[in-house]
């Protein structure tokens, strides 16, 4: 699962962080991405959104 975190950096600029997780459960993948984000991005960064950015994510395959 490719996870995209949209966040506001200390300087006020909106930035994106991408993380690839091989966890089977979606909750575990998001948790892993947030832990990695916090460990690599020091300072006061405000997470604005977190989403599955994999190809086809959010698509209704029954259509």
Q: Has residue 59 been placed in a domain?
A: no
Which of 14, 21, 15, 31 lies closest to 57, judged by CA? Answer: 21
Query: What total number of domains does the chain contain?
Result: 1
pLDDT for 54: 82
Q: Has residue 61 been placed in a domain?
A: no
Residue 62 scores a pLDDT above 80? no
Residue 33 scores a pLDDT above 90? yes
Residue range of the domain that includes 17: 2-52
Does the predicted model carry a pTM greater than 0.75?
Answer: yes
33 contacts 51 by C-beta, under 8 angstroms: no
Residue 59: pLDDT band (50, 70, 90) is low
For the chain, the average pLDDT equals 86
Q: How far is it, in rounded angstroms, from Cα 18 to Cα 50?
A: 10
Of residues 47 and 56, more confidently modeled: 47
């Amino acid at each position: 699962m490719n996870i995209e975190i949209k966040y506001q950096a200390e300087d006020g600029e909106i930035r994106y962080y991408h993380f690839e997780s091989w966890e089977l459960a979606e909750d575990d993948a998001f948790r892993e991405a947030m832990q990695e984000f916090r460990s690599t991005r020091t300072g006061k960064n405000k997470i604005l959104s977190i989403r599955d950015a994999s190809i086809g994510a959010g698509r209704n395959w029954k259509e």
